[in-house]
Chains A and B, each alone.
Chain A
Amino acid sequence: MVQSTHARLDASFAALSDATRRGVLEQLGRVDASITELAERFDMTLTGMKKHVGILEEAGLVTTEKVGRVRTCRLGPRRLEDETAWIERYRRLWDARFDELEKVVEQLKRKEKGNERKDRK
């Protein structure tokens, strides 16, 4: 346990020891980006940027996902787990809220029907 924490810290420090990689993290903190976009932004070859992103990914600081021919990089994966959990809590809050809304709508519908009946008489 302690060892794996050490290993992770080592990987993180190694990843952060490079100015370009720190720049990539800063950039991804603002907006997700593809490897091509990152390479352009840091004026670097695609292969060079792939290497940097690979090191950040190994350290758990960045996750990448390939959709079609584009590989998108974002900060992660810890953050991503948190985000998924948060969005689920957000969904549950709205679910509870909408259940209550449905009850109010049901009451209003019944009231309207009652009024219609009265109107017909």
Chain B
Amino acid sequence: MNARTASEPTTMKNRTTSERKSARELVVTRTINGPARIVFEAWTKPELFKQWWVPKSLGLTLLSCDMDVRPGGKYKLVFKHGASEPMAFYGRYTEVTPPSRLVWTNEEGGEDGSVTTVTFEEQGGKTLVVLTELYPSKKALDAAIASGSTSGDMNETFEQLEELVGTLK
């Protein structure tokens, strides 16, 4: 009985949650099977970051990825979907505290851009990742959501995902 309970976590997929925590905030959480040190490394080394940030199911190609991970350092990611024009996402890191905390700005959205804070909390060899996107106003977050849902179609189309990615990075 005990052995069975103990073996369960390895077979069960970790759950990802998302919620609009306040008028200006979106929060995503997920536990990753690995120490915070390694999760932080995968998040801050470009050659590792490139391997996971753009899941294949998105249908996007990452054309370039420049990351200067230190306080004040800039980043710039350029994506392409099919024959569409490339999209650039950029900003700068404002806090880099290995292995527990990372904060960056999202400047492609201009004044309405969000600030992303990621915290890594290690518990028994696993890491709880909490990602918060703080928008400057309720209106800015409403607009980000509206731009991704105006088509009214609930299908997970590429266009919608593209817009989604746009709000993320």
Q: Which residues of A are in contact with B by a Cβ distance under 8 Å?
A: 29-32, 79, 82-83, 85-106, 108-109, 112
Contacting pair B145 A83 (CB below 8 A) = yes
Q: How far is the CA of A54 from the CA of B160 in the complex (A)?
A: 34
From B33, B58, B137, B152, A96 is in contact (CB under 8 Å) with B58
Contacting pair B53 A86 (CB below 8 A) = no
Encode B21-45 as 1/0 by CB contact (under 8 A) with A.
0010010101011100011011100
From B55, B57, B138, A30 is in contact (CB under 8 Å) with B138
Within the complex, what minimum Cβ distance (angstroms) separates A114 from chain B? 14
The 6 closest A-B pairs by CB, nearest first: A100-B52, A91-B18, A105-B34, A96-B55, A95-B16, A82-B149
Residue of A nearest to B127 (CB): A105
The number of inter-chain residue pairs (CB within 8 angstroms) is 106
Contacting pair A30 B28 (CB below 8 A) = no
Contacting pair A94 B38 (CB below 8 A) = no
Name the prevailing secondary structure of the A interface residues. Answer: helix
Query: Chain B residues with Cβ under 8 A from A94's Cβ?
Result: 16, 18, 28, 30, 131
From B26, B52, B145, A101 is in contact (CB under 8 Å) with B52
Q: B156 near A: Cβ within 8 Å?
A: yes
Contacting pair A93 B58 (CB below 8 A) = yes
**Given contacts A83-B20, A86-B145, A102-B33, is CB(A93)–CB(B38) below 8 Å?**
no
Contacting pair A104 B52 (CB below 8 A) = yes
Contacting pair A97 B52 (CB below 8 A) = yes
Within the complex, what minimum Cβ distance (angstroms) separates A101 from chain B? 4
Query: Chain A residues with Cβ under 8 A from B152's Cβ?
Result: 82
Q: B17 near A: Cβ within 8 Å?
A: yes
Contacting pair B26 A87 (CB below 8 A) = yes
Contacting pair B33 A106 (CB below 8 A) = yes
Encode B147-161 as 1/0 by CB contact (under 8 A) with A.
011001010100011
Q: How far is the CA of A82 from the CA of B147 in the complex (A)?
A: 10
Residue of A nearest to B55 (CB): A96
